[in-house]
Amino acid sequence: MQDHSFYEGLKKESLICAQCGYCRVECPVYKQIGWESSSPRAKMLLAGKIADGNQINEQEALRIFQCTMCGRCKEQCSTRIDTIKVWEDLRQEIAEQGKSPGNLRILTQTIEENGNITGDEQANRELWIDALDDDKYRQRIGSRGKVLYFTGCSGALYPQVNSIPRSFVQILETAEEDYTLLGADESCCGFPLIAAGQPDLARDLMQRNLDKIKQLGVETIVTTCPSCYHSWRDTYPEFLGADLPYKIMHASQLINEYIKQDRLPLKELDEVVTYHDPCDLGRNSGVYDEPRFVIQSIPGVDFREMDRSRENAACCGGGGNLEAVDDGLVAKIAQQRLEEITGTGAKTVISSCQQCKRTLQVNARKNKIRVRVMDLTEFVLKSIKT
Amino acid sequence: MTQKYQRLMEEFQDQVTRDDFERSFYTRDLASVPPIMTRLMFQTKPDLVVSPLNEECIEETMRLAIEERLAVIPRAGATTAYMNTVPADGGILIDLNRLRGVLDIDKENLLAEAWSGTPWYEVEQTLQKNGFSLCTYPSSAVAATVGGWFNTEGYGIGSMQYGCFHDQVEAAQIYLPQGKWIDARQEGSYPLSWFMGKEGTLGIVSRVRFRIRHLPEAEYHAALAIDSFTQLVSIINRLAGQAPGAYNVQFSDSDCFSMQADLGYEVPLHDRHLVCITYQGSAEEIKAAKKNVQQLAADTGAEMMPEQVGQEVWDDRLYALKIKRGGPTLLAGEVALSADKIPLFYQQVKKLNQRTAVYGHFMGPNKANILVQYYADESKNIQYLFQMAKTKRIYDAAISLGGRPYGVGIWNSVYLKRVFPEDILRQRKAIKQELDPLGIMNPGKYYSPPALLHPVLFGMGSGIANGISSLVGIGKGR
């Protein structure tokens, strides 16, 4: 399997698509909807239609946006189509035709006006720090530091997952890291805008974030959000046309380094756990090993792999802005993943993503599934504090 | 029309659709056929699509079809290219993809049962988890389904050792267009041989029970570089008598690799052909196989490639379409041919005035399934029609050497009388008449060509197109 993208534009890729259907076998959306129209190969036919200059209708637009952008289709494609790129370009074309689903138009406007996905004041990005009840964390905002922790909108603004940045900064402190935070100066990484078909607006946010970092002496940018990680690592250089002067890391990678350097005092946890690969960290960024190394470094942990893991991992349903388009579909996809999780016998599922945690947790509660959902940072902190 | 379907729609709401948008995605298979051709001859959009979640839904749909004399077209992966799973004249399309999953693994008797819409890849994963494996599977196993392969020819990976999938089938649950379920077996009133390979023209298959094997302890993939297909024949002849037997033998010609190289793929060789021989068995058997292959290479003048090459070819075995990117369209002819005729067939194929990638699997020690693929561009309409005509030359070459097209559907029905004796065709039609007196099951396929595809007219048309192409260069391939 070649790693590089062959992408040659919507028209060409739609012709290259063999309609073999390899893409749809594991597609989480097709598996739930069941009609051929929901399969990636049907979306490729719509791509051809749009590339030929045709207007599309709302029903067709909805099908395009009913996608978690999990990349499973790309992994399976028999003609090596970079389907993620196709979906991004398709969404842009639809946005230009003014046919995006209403909620996505609202999301776009929200980010454009507020710099974040929730519509909160930017100052609210710092609220999660208050619960730590120690001023040393707040003092990191805007300070100079070698490592910038880019919190991301979800971690900073969704109370359900505020515990992730809170856990991570405590890990950074334990490891005696020289780190900094952007606080209210941080803007959305741009990823949700790309998924909404608004790459130009995403580019503006990327530039805004880079401008804020310049004076902080940063050498490494670390994120707890896989989508932020993927954006910073791959999309920023692509969109801005230059390599960034920073090393980009996901929290799982940095924590793994700390463990190897013996900077974290991990204590025994007697728990049966499994790991859910976030699509943007695993399949779309190739980070599979580090989260597993971290989990298995904690003494006493009984780690159980799911049948579908690593590059074959199933999506939780929370990606690609699907929540804004069809939350009922998200729930069905999450339900299926939760069944796989409980099938391992694990009492705790660990992920490395705010959105995966939110999606799995909400749907586990809704369906009374007895499984605890934790982020890797939370699990590591628990081990440190035991 | 809607009224006719009302009962079904009320009873199986989310399993039935009349929505025009939904129906529009069931109008084609792998083949890209210019609308001018399909619109002239067929109505490819079904009137209704049913996607059953259970056998009750199949039964009710079939009852309605029988009552109203409506055509029924079964479809699952739709991984063929002969319109086998596309309506010829509207009707009810039954999309079996949601009947998915392995139902039973009989560990003692080495049998498994699966819903017909289960992809082979999924069956194999489930079996492996339990310490078992499929005997054979199609080379499109990622998307091809159990019911689909039951209904088509049934040769693929592993056929060198285990033959046809049809020989491994023990039973199948089929709803007949007479309005009843049957449990077809190898013997009995409704022998499996009546149904297997008949492209869904005799009933709807819901479940299939088939032989499996223990997961092999070890495997070995030998890659041998050869200069000619005469060497391939020598290799296959020598393999026939050897123990342990090879599990799978596949081959690719030099153009397969040069087309891949043009796209930027890393390839093991550029100007020679490659044979990949796979052995699966005990560690002891694999050890013996390795020794045999060394001798085989020495005896036939083949060059042993590094072991990693064999592994890579094996890993890529389900991805023959990877070269399509160079097209963007990939046209193909797929044939079944005696092993000893491969060199002559290859010579004729290479006279197509078109670069062709030739790739094949052995269906047993004496016969191969060969896929000849060539580039075309469907976005250039007129050129494309001339390029399509070349498939006839591939089939003519195979038929002249005693071979035949692999698969029938609509497009290859024009060759039926040239490749099957009259009594065989008559017998098939008699069974069809007995089981489907109303002629509602997948009409227009398999038994005879549609009026506008009369073999004489088709032959003349294709012949003229190929003649013009040779003289003027229109449709000249890359």
Q: The domain that contains A289 carries what CATH number?
A: 3.40.50.11810
The residue out of A207, A235, A257 marking a domain boundary is A257
Query: Among A257, A290, A320, which residue terminates a domain?
Result: A257
User: Which member of B98, B143, B329 has the closest CB to residue A21?
Assistant: B143
Cβ-nearest to B140 among A4, A20, A39 = A20
**What pLDDT does residue A338 have?**
98
Are the beta carbons of A376 and A295 closer than 8 angstroms?
yes
Q: What would the two tokens of residue B465 be?
A: 């197109």
Angle A89-A93-A95 from CA coordinates, rounded to 5°? 115
| Residue B293 lies inside a defined structural domain of this protein | yes
Please work out, in degrees rounded to the nearest 5, the angle formed at the alpha carbon of residue A120 by the alpha carbons of A88 and A211: 65
pLDDT averaged over chain B? Answer: 95
Q: Which residue of B has its CA nearest to A23?
A: B143
Tell whether omega for the bond before B328 is within 30 degrees of 0, i.e. cis.
Answer: yes
pLDDT band for B457, please (50, 70, 90 cuts). confident
Distance from CA of B291 to the nearest CA of A (A): 30
Neighbours of A364 (CB within 10 A): 20
B40-53 CB burial, b ≥16 within 10 A, e <16: ebbebbbbbbbbbe
Give the pair of three-digit tokens for residue B459.
């032959």
- Taking each helix axis as running N to C, give the angle between helix B55-68 and helix B2-11, from 0 to 180 degrees, rounded to the nearest 10: 160
Domain match, A375 and A273 both: yes
With bands split at pLDDT 50, 70 and 90, how would you rate the model's confidence at B2?
low
Contacts of B25 in chain A (CB under 8 A): 35-37, 39, 42, 45
Residue labelled with tokens 């689909």? B148
Contact (CB<8Å) A16/B327: yes
Residues of A in contact with B379 (CB under 8 A): 15
Question: What's the pLDDT score for residue B1?
Answer: 53
Select from B139, B38, B165, B15 the least CA-distant residue to B79: B139
Whether B472 is covered by a domain: the verdict is no
pLDDT values of chain A reduced to their tens digit, one per residue, 386 residues:
446 789 999 999 999 999 999 999 999 999 999 999 999 999 999 999 999 999 999 999 999 999 999 999 999 999 999 999 999 999 999 999 999 999 999 999 999 999 999 999 999 999 999 999 899 999 999 999 999 999 999 999 999 999 999 999 999 999 999 999 999 999 999 999 999 999 999 999 999 999 999 999 999 999 999 999 999 999 999 999 999 999 999 999 999 999 999 999 999 999 999 999 999 999 999 999 999 999 999 999 999 999 999 999 999 999 999 999 999 999 999 999 999 999 999 999 999 999 999 999 999 999 999 999 999 999 999 999 98
pLDDT > 90? residue B460: no
Partners of B111 in the beta sheet?
B106, B211
Which residue in B22, B28, B324 is closest to A16 by CB distance? Answer: B324
User: What average pLDDT score do residues B66-82 get?
Assistant: 96
Q: What is the CATH number of the domain that holds A74?
A: 1.10.1060.10
Residue ending a domain, choose from A79, A100, A121: A100
**How many A×B Cβ pairs under 8 Å?**
83
Same domain as A250, residue A109: yes
The closest of A33, A241, A14, A204 to A111, measured between CA atoms, is A204
Tokens of A50: 């749009």
pLDDT of residue B332: 96
pLDDT in the model for residue A1? 43
| Nearest-by-CA chain A residue for B265 | A2
Domain span at residue A353 reads 266-385
Q: Do B143 and A25 touch (CB under 8 A)?
A: yes
Can you give the pLDDT at residue A3? 63
> Does B138 lie in the same domain as B74?
no
Angle at alpha carbon of residue B365, lines to B360 and B367, rounded to 5°: 50
pLDDT at B455 (0 to 100): 87
Could you count the other beta carbons within 10 Å of the beta carbon of residue B294? 12
Name which of A116, A57, A126, A47 is nearest A88 in CA terms.
A47
CB contact under 8 A, B325 and A80: yes
Number of structural domains (chain B) is 4
Separation between Cα atoms, residue A147 and residue A162, nearest integer Å? 20
- For residues A317 and A336, what is the distance between their CA atoms, to the nearest angstrom? 9
Last-in-domain residue among B162, B187, B214: B214
- Out of B22, B29, B379, the one facing A15 most closely (by C-beta) is B379
At residue A217, what are phi and psi to the nearest 5 degrees?
Answer: 70, 25
Distance CA A150, CA A182 (A): 7
H-only helix segments in A246-318: 251-260, 289-297
Count the helix, strand and coil residues of chain A and give each as a percent rounded to the nearest 5: 55, 10, 40
Which of B62, B97, B132 is the last residue in one of the domains? B97
For the four alpha carbons of B174, B175, B180 and B181, in that order, the dihedral sign comes to: positive
Tokens 């094997």, residue located: B213
Chain B positions touching A35 (Cβ under 8 A) are 17, 22, 25, 49, 51, 95
Q: Which residues of B touch A19 (CB under 8 A)?
A: 28-30, 32, 78
Domain edge (last residue) among B214, B245, B276: B214
Residue B405 backbone dihedrals phi, psi, to 5 degrees = -65, 145
For residue B463, pLDDT over 50 is answered with yes
At B243, phi and psi to the nearest 5?
Answer: -125, 135
Q: Residue B96: closest CA among chain A residues belongs to which residue?
A: A34
Kindly state whether residues A177 and A68 are assigned to the same domain: no
The answer to whether ipTM exceeds 0.90 is yes
